[in-house]
DNA sequence: TGCACATTTGGCTAAACTTACAAATGTTCC
DNA sequence: GGAACATTTGTAAGTTTAGCCAAATGTGCA
């Protein structure tokens, strides 16, 4: 694989990697449903340290998946790219395939 | 977040995590285009140690994204779920948004 | 059986990721 | 200015991941 091809896949992987964490998937899902949320609201829902949540948000923002909007002392985050929601559909179908496959093995 | 919700997002993250590596994205892309490939062919194309490639393939297989088919001494892998290819489209659009955004900042 | 080849697995190291606490920064309001 | 609050950042510890080499396993064939 040449270095240009390598770079192409690294750039893609970086964005997918930003989605590859349960807390970050929760955040994306939540923002998709509610439009926007501030860090304190998300922290409350997630139940982790606020600094941890802030770091997850930074990862998603750095990847370009969410955008931040400072309003007073709060920072509100919103989804910038809706198409990442398509990931969920596909993931669900993979999981369904998997459980079907496992059921088959047991017979 | 309760433990059921937590488990849901962890299961999803596991599958997305399997896609979150440049080499594994390359493999998925290659299998999508060529139908199937044995480990030795992929190893040749990727240019890493065969044991490394074998481990990447195991990750994708464990997630349910690819399937293996042993034929003689070789093991052929093929894509089991085409919808993961939708990831690429979305990732491209995120990258385009990002570069547009960066261009705007420079003006 | 024994050699050649394909693949996987064990073991190890280095790098990356995740998390929490504490401290720093920024904002509002008195 | 100073207290109260929201958020980010520095730091350190623990965990996971990626990579390679070497060894083990499995297959085909003389």
Domain that holds residue A69: 3-81
At A12, which CATH number? 1.10.10.10
- Mean pLDDT score, B70-93: 96
Is A88 domain-assigned?
A: no
What's this model's pTM, rounded to 2 decimal places?
0.94
Is B43 domain-assigned?
A: yes
Q: Is the pLDDT of residue A105 over 90?
A: no
Six-digit token string for A25: 């998937």
CB-based burial of residue B60 (10 Å sphere; 0-12 exposed, 13-18 middle, 19+ buried)? buried
Instruction: Assess contact for B31 and B53: CB atoms under 8 A.
Output: no
CB-based burial of residue B11 (10 Å sphere; 0-12 exposed, 13-18 middle, 19+ buried)? middle
Q: Looking at chain A, which residue has its C-alpha nearest residue B61?
A: A98
Q: Is the pLDDT of residue A106 over 90?
A: no
Strands B36-38 and B66-71: unpaired
Q: Is the pLDDT of residue A68 over 70?
A: yes
> pLDDT tens across B18-41, in order?
999 999 999 999 999 999 999 999
Is A24 domain-assigned?
A: yes
Is A41 domain-assigned?
A: yes
pLDDT at A14: 97
Other CB atoms within 10 Å distance of the CB of residue A22: 22
Please give the Cα distance from A9 to B95 (Å, whole number): 12
pLDDT at B27: 98
Q: Looking at chain A, which residue has its C-alpha nearest residue B102?
A: A64
Q: Is the pLDDT of residue B106 over 80?
A: no
pLDDT at B61: 98
Is A99 domain-assigned?
A: no
Q: Is the Cβ pair A90, B80 closer than 8 Å?
A: no
Protein-proximal nucleotides of chain C (any atom < 7 Å from a CB) = 4-10, 17-23, 26-28
> pLDDT tens across A15-63, in order?
999 999 999 999 999 999 999 999 999 999 999 999 999 999 999 999 9
| Long-range Cβ contacts of B81-86 (<8 Å, 24+ apart) | B81/A90, B81/A93, B81/A94, B81/A97, B82/B32, B83/A89, B83/A90, B83/A93, B83/A94, B84/A90, B84/A94, B84/B19, B84/B28, B85/B28, B85/B32, B86/A86, B86/A87, B86/A90
Instruction: Assess contact for A94 and B81: CB atoms under 8 A.
Output: yes
- Contact residues on chain A for B65, CB-CB shorter than 8 A: 94
**Cα torsion A3, A16, A20, A36: sign:** positive
pLDDT at A35: 96
**CA–C1' gap, B48 and D20, in angstroms:** 9
pLDDT at A46: 97
What does DSSP assign to residue B75?
E
pLDDT at B107: 64
Is B14 domain-assigned?
A: yes
Q: Is the pLDDT of residue B105 over 90?
A: no
Is A66 domain-assigned?
A: yes
pLDDT band of B3, cuts 50, 70, 90:
confident
- Contact residues on chain A for B6, CB-CB shorter than 8 A: 22
Instruction: Assess contact for B65 and A94: CB atoms under 8 A.
Output: yes
Q: Is the pLDDT of residue A107 over 80?
A: no
Sheet holding A66-71, edge to edge: A36-38, A74-79, A66-71
Number of domains in chain B: 1
The rounded mean pLDDT for chain A is 95
Is A101 domain-assigned?
A: no
């Amino acid at each position: 694989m040449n270095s240009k091809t390598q770079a192409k896949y690294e750039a893609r992987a970086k964005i997918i990697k930003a989605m590859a964490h349960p807390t970050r998937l929760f955040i994306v899902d939540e923002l998709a449903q509610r439009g926007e949320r501030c860090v304190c609201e998300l922290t409350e829902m997630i139940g982790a340290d606020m600094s941890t949540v802030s770091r997850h948000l930074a990862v998603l923002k750095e990847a370009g998946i969410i955008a931040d909007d400072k309003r007073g002392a709060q920072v509100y985050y919103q989804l910038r790219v809706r198409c990442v929601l398509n990931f969920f559909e596909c993931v669900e179908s993979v999981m369904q395939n998997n459980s079907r496959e496992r059921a088959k093995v047991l017979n």
